[in-house]
Structure 1
């Protein structure tokens, strides 16, 4: 049984465990991440890991949330520096989205590992809502659409972004091609003249 001599606060320990979990998923895939393998990789006792996450799905959900929060934060930071034009805001959203998809491939692996988990559907809806709100708020100044119509189009764009990211990960598109394609979809989607 692995133990550690470093005493961390509960919050710091959780962060350390999640950092270690990302490393495990990167090296061994999501299937290689269990509470036991995490305890061993982090050099802590099993009860510590169980205390933080309870179950393997609890661990995977916590890791999924953390990676998603980082993904969304990267997009929000990129938007702060964007020039105030529809083209630039759309391009920045897309570039940040695909940069995160490339930098955090474990997000897709964890999502796949959680398929069929009842808690995952609720989490995915919550996270999609967060992305949708972020995107719609950034694009609203450049669209004549109602906030509701724009939000629904942003939901569609996020579905397209996920599919294009899959093409990117399969090396069927370059990052530049992915950014251009999604930017064009966003700009076409926020055109108020096409609202019916």
Structure 2
């Protein structure tokens, strides 16, 4: 009898561990990101995700209900990762404009690049319905308020306006997406976003001191 045939040397099959709901959702989101990376956002359906994740369709439908729900969950996943990284970096940076602007620029661009080419497709898909666009706007508002709070102390009494913050966010998205698409380098994206943030605060301070 060969070694492989000896019942004493053969390990019994391990029972398949049942994932918790949280772990299952994490698995499904990870597979969804991989699917988008390989085939694009248009290929993402609940049925195809179930096939790729090796689960039944009802499992996926139970977590996301609709394709729109899945897209929203992917955006929330991205936003949570971005928020965690930025909050940690802001908590550990020096309390001055240069370091604060550096953190915002570095973490914003870095998080988009970490997610790769997938996130621009998800963001574009969010614009496909008012419901998804609303979710994106809600998370943007939280991010902009965070930026306002950390930049306001350097504005020398001026009030950082929503218009200025929106301009900054537009630059952040455009530069990050260009870097993700390798149109520009990550360093160029960070540098331009940093310059945009500095200019925003300095312009606010100038308006305050000049009384305009």
TM-score w.r.t. the length of structure 2 is 0.83
Other-structure match for 2:130: 118
TM-score w.r.t. the length of structure 1 is 0.89
Shift of 1:101: 1.5
2:140 to 121, 128, 139: 128
Count of aligned pairs: 192
Taking the TM superposition and a 5 Å limit, the aligned residue runs for 1:47-196 are 47-104=58-115, 105-147=117-159, 149-191=160-202, 192-195=205-208, 196=212
CA contact (8 A) 1:98 1:175 kept: yes
CA contact (8 A) 1:68 1:107 kept: no
Shift of 1:146: 4.7
Shift of 1:151: 4.4
Gaps of 5+ in 1: none
Residues 183 and 145 of structure 1: is their aligned pair in 2 closer, same or farther, counting only changes over 3 Å?
farther
CA contact (8 A) 1:25 1:32 kept: yes
2-structure distance, mates of 1:96, 1:10: 30
Q: Answer with 1 or 2: which has the greater Rg.
A: 2
2-structure distance, mates of 1:96, 1:185: 15
